[in-house]
Structure 1
Amino acid sequence: MRTRLAIRIDAILEPWFPERRVFLRSDNDTRLIRLRPMTQLLGFAGSASVVAWAIVATAILLMDSIGAGNFREQAKRDQRSYETRLNQLAEERDSRAAEAVAAQARFNLALEQISDMQSKLLASEISRTELETGIEVIQSNLRDAMQQRDQARGRLAVLQQITDPSNPAANAQGHDETLDFMVSALADTATERDQILADAQQALRDAEDLQFQIKLMEDQNDQIFRQLEDAMTISVEPLDKMFRAAGLSTKSLIDQVRANHAGQGGPLMPMSFSTKGEEPSADELRANRILRQLDQLNLYRIAASKAPFAKPVKNSVRFTSGFGYRRDPKTGGRRLHKGADFAGPTGTPIYSTADGVIIHAGWSSGYGRLIKIQHAFGIETRYAHLSKIRVKVGQRVSRGDRIGDMGNTGRSTGTHLHYEVRVGGKPQNPMTYIKAANDVF
């Protein structure tokens, strides 16, 4: 059955693939090979399959090569764009730092001015109290002089009544003596009255001058208060923006710092100029509000020094990989990259990004030589693939301290730093903290 089917198929294929005979001759023998139409068809189909496979494979390789070239060009363009952006951020950071320094200088100057104005205000209060007391004494003396004048007039009337008009010659001498005494007494009283009036008028002029000086001091106080309020706004808002940009709760941070901060630099006590239990004035309320803002600014700065708002590398480096899912450089699969990579020469100094305690300094699988630092507020930073570790477990470090050198240890394809920030054990994007710090530091 199979032979008949093969014969029929050969007959059908005969017009396209006629039977061919191949003679293989040697010195001693001659062999005949018959190539039937079906055999030729199978050979042709196999050859065509091989050629088609070669064409498809070549096309795939070419497309992959072209795609890889485009990806590299895109990566280079992205790298150049990112480096340009980093330079711009560095310039913005420097300008913000200069503005912060200028604002701090203005704030210190305004603080000195308000201190001087407080001293002058206290002195003016004392002078006004003394002047009011002097005016009361002058008024009391004036009342006494007027009473004495009235008494002298009464005695003069009595003397005129008791004088006997029927004996003018006998009483002339008495009248002259009485009149001389009364004229002298009235002259003294008038002189004393004029002096008291002059003193009173001078006191009133002094009071007016003092009121004018107090008004000038109030205007200067208002200007100083405005400068202080502007300086506080310039100083506090960037810090608040920095914490919020990093996803941190400012209220929680301030509460933790206030709870743990028991040394110098604690909360500022409100000021009061009154010792009589009176309600505070508008200036006192305004000054106390500024003092509360100063306390808040102090707590913000303490919190900022304890959080990793800084770059771990100060030298010129290349940003090679960010936080998030990416193609794994070893396996090619899609994996979560839990930090940021900065590439540079071997031995590039690595610095702590905040105050903290070293909790790990040694080899770790995949990370190579690894340093872990525990900071405040449950924040932890990691520095991986180092060539050298310069700290020990338990050692306290500050922001900017050199802790190691860049290397290529562990699961790495080249010399770089793998930098992580974790809050409560969960990885966060380190660039969020670095970019947020550019607004202040």
Structure 2
Amino acid sequence: MRNTRRHTGGRYPRGLFSRLAYAFRERQIYLRSEGEVQFITLRPWVQVAVIFAFTVGLFWVAYATVNVAFKDQVLALKERNQYRARLEYEDRIGEMRSTIDKLNRRLLLDQKTYLAKVDEVRFEHDRLVDRHQQLSDFFRQGWLPGPNGTTKQQKGSLTPQATPGVRTAGNTTSPRAVDKFTSDFTSPEEAVKPLADLRAYMAQMETREAALLGAVTEYVAGQTTRLGKVYRSLGVNADKIAKSSRYKPEAVGGPFVAASAGDLGSKVLAQSVSDLSTQLDRWETLKFQTTRLPLTRPMSPEHKTSSSFGLRKDPFRKKPAMHSGIDFRGPTGSPVHVTAPGKVIKAGWSGGYGKMVEVRHDGGVTSRYAHLSIISVRTGQKVKSGDRIGKVGSTGRSTGPHLHYETRVGGRAIDPVRFWKARDVFQEITR
């Protein structure tokens, strides 16, 4: 086999890679036996493997030697460390036991004080229940102060109902905590038992609150239903007028943050408040809309009616005819006032009505004022209840100075007396 050698020219190679390549260059070992010469070629990777195996073996021999020579010392060191750790652990356990014993002794010493505090909170809770019961009775019976400090029951209020299980500050139904828990507490469960009893009392209070809110909601719903019936008697759709209402509470505002169970204490109370809010909103809306209906008279009380609503003998043809309004007699020039807020949709001459003003109110209700001598408003003008819109005259189909007054719902003539009677009912319901 031919052996090729790389000559360096007598110079040692530079650079780490070049030095490693030079150190582990290919070598040959020659063997001569019985006149024959043979050689073994050691390639670089074989040299590296041999050196690595030798190094690993050397380290293993050193480690085994140290382990055998110092085995007793290593075991003794481990035992000392374990003993020291056990002592530290026992010291910590002892400190914790001492702290627990101190807390237990302090709890036993302060048990009466603790129970006395529980009774104080319990007493305040009973006073709150007592006030809640008074408020419940006040609402359920509808008591209002009379002229001489007495009380009277308002018509339409809820019927009185007794609230079961009421506990007042002066008459508790269970013994005090200091009398009930006379023996020393020996476990955490016994120590928290008075608080568990107090939480049970609070839960009873929550039930009473939910019941009262439910009664209020039922009462408001009943009153709202009564309002709806009066609206229907006038031919006005209560649902429609509520949806189209422009009612907004005065001087209130702020971002909307829905009431949650966390704010009110429980989901039951949150739902009860939500239901009550819905009923109150409808109630306030319908109550507000009563002020938008023509419930007043267009002239002062001294002006009497000369012709009622309904069938009558026509003053010109002397035959039965339908009179679609009410006539108020009065001298020419007497002021005429609008009976509800609204918008003027006609102001001028209108056939047999003569000079007429027509005002549109909420809910499809309109009012007409005919035979005027002077019109004081113009078409498109917004008017408030009580504004003067003209003066009495005798224009159009008229036999003398008077005011012809009409109320219409959806274009159909309705007797104005029905609105005046409804005013008294509205006032009685919303009082």
Q: State TM-score, norm by structure 2.
A: 0.51
Segments of structure 2 that go 5 or more residues without pairing to the other structure are 1-93, 143-156, 158-215
Which residue identity is paired with 1:206?
E
- Does structure 1 residue 249 correspond to structure 2 residue 237? yes
Report the alpha carbon displacement of residue 406 of structure 1 after superposing the two structures with TM. 1.5
1:416 to 397, 402, 406: 402
Report the alpha carbon displacement of residue 357 of structure 1 after superposing the two structures with TM. 1.1
Task: Deviation per CA, 1:275-321: give whole Å up to 9, x if none.
Answer: 5984223xx55544443332122211332222222221123122221
- Does structure 1 residue 294 correspond to structure 2 residue 280? yes
Structure 2 counterpart SS, 1:218: helix
| Corresponding residue number in structure 2 for 1:361 | 347
Contact 2:236 2:409 in 1 (8 A): no
Structure 2 CA distance for aligned equivalents of residues 273 and 221 of structure 1: 23
State how 1:21-36 maps to structure 2 within 5 Å.
none
Which residue identity is paired with 1:343?
R
Contact 1:385 1:410 in 2 (8 A): yes
| Corresponding residue number in structure 1 for 2:380 | 394
Structure 1 CA distance for aligned equivalents of residues 323 and 265 of structure 2: 63
Segments of structure 1 that go 5 or more residues without pairing to the other structure are 1-143, 152-187
Structure 2 counterpart SS, 1:301: helix
1:374 to 360, 370, 384: 360
Structure 2 CA distance for aligned equivalents of residues 150 and 295 of structure 1: 58
Structure 1 CA distance for aligned equivalents of residues 278 and 410 of structure 2: 31
| Corresponding residue number in structure 2 for 1:22 | none
| Corresponding residue number in structure 2 for 1:4 | none
Task: Deviation per CA, 1:101-143: give whole Å up to 9, x if none.
Answer: xxxxxxxxxxxxxxxxxxxxxxxxxxxxxxxxxxxxxxxxxxx
State how 1:278-289 maps to structure 2 within 5 Å.
278-281=266-269, 286-289=272-275
- Does structure 1 residue 207 correspond to structure 2 residue 121? yes
- Does structure 1 residue 197 correspond to structure 2 residue 111? yes
| Corresponding residue number in structure 2 for 1:383 | 369
Which residue identity is paired with 2:124?
L
Which residue identity is paired with 1:304?
T
State how 1:9-408 maps to structure 2 within 5 Å.
148=98, 192=106, 195-223=109-137, 225-226=139-140, 227=142, 229=216, 232=220, 236=224, 239-257=227-245, 271-272=259-260, 274-275=262-263, 278-281=266-269, 286-408=272-394
| Corresponding residue number in structure 1 for 2:5 | none
Q: Give the direction of change, closer, same or farther, for the CA distance of 1:429–1:145 in structure 2 (3 Å limit).
A: farther
1:429 to 410, 415, 431: 415
Which residue identity is paired with 1:369?
K
Contact 1:361 1:371 in 2 (8 A): yes
Which residue identity is paired with 1:330?
F
Report the alpha carbon displacement of residue 382 of structure 1 after superposing the two structures with TM. 0.9
Report the alpha carbon displacement of residue 368 of structure 1 after superposing the two structures with TM. 1.6
Contact 1:309 1:434 in 2 (8 A): yes
Taking every aligned residue pair, what percent have the same amino acid on both sides?
30
Report the alpha carbon displacement of residue 398 of structure 1 after superposing the two structures with TM. 1.2
Structure 2 CA distance for aligned equivalents of residues 213 and 392 of structure 1: 63
Report the alpha carbon displacement of residue 438 of structure 1 after superposing the two structures with TM. 2.8
- Larger fraction in helix: 1
Q: Give the direction of change, closer, same or farther, for the CA distance of 1:272–1:389 in structure 2 (3 Å limit).
A: same
| Corresponding residue number in structure 1 for 2:37 | none
Structure 2 CA distance for aligned equivalents of residues 359 and 403 of structure 1: 13
Report the alpha carbon displacement of residue 403 of structure 1 after superposing the two structures with TM. 0.9
Q: Give the direction of change, closer, same or farther, for the CA distance of 1:237–1:263 in structure 2 (3 Å limit).
A: closer
Contact 1:338 1:420 in 2 (8 A): yes
Contact 1:357 1:373 in 2 (8 A): yes
Structure 1 CA distance for aligned equivalents of residues 272 and 358 of structure 2: 46
Structure 2 CA distance for aligned equivalents of residues 363 and 421 of structure 1: 18
Q: Give the direction of change, closer, same or farther, for the CA distance of 1:149–1:339 in structure 2 (3 Å limit).
A: closer
Report the alpha carbon displacement of residue 393 of structure 1 after superposing the two structures with TM. 1.3
Structure 2 CA distance for aligned equivalents of residues 150 and 370 of structure 1: 95
Report the alpha carbon displacement of residue 244 of structure 1 after superposing the two structures with TM. 2.8
Query: Higher RCO, 1 or 2 (CA under 8 Å, sep at least 6)?
Result: 1
Q: State TM-score, norm by structure 1.
A: 0.50
RMSD across aligned C-alpha pairs, in angstroms?
A: 3.7
Contact 1:266 1:295 in 2 (8 A): no
| Corresponding residue number in structure 1 for 2:23 | none
Report the alpha carbon displacement of residue 190 of structure 1 after superposing the two structures with TM. 9.7
Which residue identity is paired with 1:316?
E
Structure 2 CA distance for aligned equivalents of residues 193 and 286 of structure 1: 42
| Corresponding residue number in structure 2 for 1:184 | none
Structure 2 CA distance for aligned equivalents of residues 262 and 358 of structure 1: 23
Structure 1 CA distance for aligned equivalents of residues 395 and 356 of structure 2: 9
Task: Deviation per CA, 1:314-346: give whole Å up to 9, x if none.
Answer: 231222212223211011122221111111232
Report the alpha carbon displacement of residue 356 of structure 1 after superposing the two structures with TM. 1.2
Q: Give the direction of change, closer, same or farther, for the CA distance of 1:366–1:310 in structure 2 (3 Å limit).
A: same
Contact 1:345 1:415 in 2 (8 A): yes
Which residue identity is paired with 1:252?
K
